[in-house]
Amino acid sequence: MYRRDVLDNGITVLSEAAPHVGSASLGFWIHSGSRWETEAEAGISHCLEHMVFKGTERRSARDIAEQLDSVGGHLNAFTDKEATCYYARVLGEHLPLAFDVLSDMLLHSVFAPEELELEKNVILEEIKQHEDDPEGLVHDLFARELWPDHPLGRPVIGSPETVAALTRDMLLRYTQDWYAPNRIVVAAAGNLHSDQILELVGIAFGELKPGDQESHLSPPVVAGGTVRQSREIEQMNLCYGFAGLPQTSPRRYALACMDVAFGGGMSSRLFQEIREKRGLAYSIGSYFMGYHDSGQYTIYAGTSPETEEEVLAVLREEAERLCQDGLTAEELRRAQNQIKGSMLMDLESMSSRMSRLGKTELYFGRVVDVDEVVAEIEAVTLDAVTAVARQVLHGEAVLAAIGPPEESEFEESAPNG
**Which pLDDT band, with edges at 50, 70 and 90, does 416 fall under?**
very low
How far apart are alpha carbons 264 and 385 in whole angstroms?
15
CA atoms within 13 A on the CB side of 55: 12
**What pLDDT score does 241 carry?**
97
Is the pLDDT at 406 greater than 90, yes or no?
no
**What pLDDT score does 160 carry?**
97
**Which pLDDT band, with edges at 50, 70 and 90, does 413 fall under?**
very low
**Contact between residue 187 and residue 111 where contact means Cβ atoms under 8 Å apart:** no
Residue 229 carries which side chain, given as an amino acid letter?
Q
Is the pLDDT at 270 greater than 90, yes or no?
yes
Q: What is the pLDDT of residues 281-298, one digit of tens each?
A: 999 999 999 999 999 999
**Which pLDDT band, with edges at 50, 70 and 90, does 356 fall under?**
very high
**Which pLDDT band, with edges at 50, 70 and 90, does 214 fall under?**
low
Is the pLDDT at 210 greater than 90, yes or no?
no
- The predicted model gives 42-71 an average pLDDT of 97
Q: Which of 100, 117, 115, 98 is nearest to 55 (CA)?
A: 115
| Residues with a known catalytic role | 49
**Contact between residue 221 and residue 382 where contact means Cβ atoms under 8 Å apart:** no
Pinpoint the alpha helices (H) of 206-289.
252-263, 269-270
Q: Which of 257, 232, 268 is nearest to 381 (CA)?
A: 257
How far apart are alpha carbons 125 and 147 in whole angstroms?
26
Is the pLDDT at 257 greater than 50, yes or no?
yes
CA atoms within 13 A on the CB side of 162: 21
Higher pLDDT, 391 or 219: 391
Is the pLDDT at 165 greater than 50, yes or no?
yes
**Contact between residue 362 and residue 85 where contact means Cβ atoms under 8 Å apart:** no
H or E segment and range at residue 287: strand 283-290
Residue 55 carries which side chain, given as an amino acid letter?
G
**Contact between residue 284 and residue 270 where contact means Cβ atoms under 8 Å apart:** yes
**What pLDDT score does 1 carry?**
83
**Contact between residue 380 and residue 253 where contact means Cβ atoms under 8 Å apart:** yes
How far apart are alpha carbons 128 and 63 in whole angstroms?
29
Q: What is the pLDDT of residues 376-402, one digit of tens each?
A: 999 999 999 999 999 999 999 999 999
Q: What are phi and psi of 295, to 5 degrees?
A: -170, 175
Is the pLDDT at 52 greater than 90, yes or no?
yes
**What pLDDT score does 211 carry?**
77
Provide the residue count of the chain.
417
**Contact between residue 265 and residue 251 where contact means Cβ atoms under 8 Å apart:** no
How far apart are alpha carbons 288 and 298 in whole angstroms?
6
Q: What is the DSSP string of 228-258?
A: EEE-S-SSEEEEEEEE---TT-TTHHHHHHH
Beta strand ranges found along 304-343 (DSSP E): none
How far apart are alpha carbons 92 and 25 in whole angstroms?
9
Q: What is the pLDDT of residues 88-110, one digit of tens each?
A: 999 999 999 999 999 999 999 99
**Contact between residue 130 and residue 157 where contact means Cβ atoms under 8 Å apart:** yes
**Contact between residue 285 and residue 239 where contact means Cβ atoms under 8 Å apart:** no
**What pLDDT score does 411 carry?**
43
The answer to pTM > 0.85 is yes
User: How many other C-beta atoms lie within 10 A of the C-beta of residue 117?
Assistant: 12
CA angle 225, 81, 105 (to 5 degrees): 160
- Enumerate helices (H) and strands (E) in the chain, giving the number of each: 16, 11
Q: What is the 3-state secondary structure (H, E, C) of 5-52?
A: EECCCCCEEEEEECCCCCEEEEEEEECCCHHHCCHHHCCHHHHHHHHC
